[in-house]
Amino acid sequence: MKLIVGLGNPGAKYASTWHNLGFLAVDSLAERVTSFRGFREKDRAEISQVSFEGESVWLMKPQTFMNLSGEAVGSFVRYHGIEPEEVLVVHDDLDLELSRLQIKKGGGSAGHNGLESIFQHWGKDFYRLRVGIGKPPERMSVSDYVLKNVSKAEILPIVESARQALEEVLNKGVNKAVASINVWPKK
């Protein structure tokens, strides 16, 4: 992987929401990489270039808000000549049960506006780490559900699993990591 993108929304208001799982997973990974020296703001994103197992990897958190994530991602990958198979996007997913992880390449957006924006501004053939958040309770809108504040006790174990999955991808390569990650959480 040359680029790992965590999807989310900037600002304290959204920091502990389901929609920020991508940001939280990238932050958690960054904290464990010894070459991490902080994020810097560039081209509507927070970015950092780190070394993982001797390989250079970009970490990115678009600051355009979720629905415009593709603007930052598209311009970054074009400028750096990064191919779709070298990109992993981490995002929340309503269609997976809570805490379930799945890596997939390509596919549709299933109504996820951050993914839809990336499709419009760049393409679809990148890898995705889908982080399950389950369906909203009855009578709660999807937007209210993904933007509600979640307790640290509930969100941190899921962030930790996503971080472990990212490390597994970086250690083994995405194709070898898929087989084990797609059965997480392990029962």
As annotated, the active-site residues are 19
Instruction: For residue 167, give every residue at least 6 positions away whose Cβ sits within 8 Å of its Cβ, in sequence order, or none.
Output: 29, 32
Distance CA 113, CA 56 (A): 29
CA dist 115 → 96, 106, 124, 130 (Å): 16, 10, 9, 11
Tokens of 8: 């989310």
Give, for 60, the enclosing helix (H) or strand (E): strand 55-62
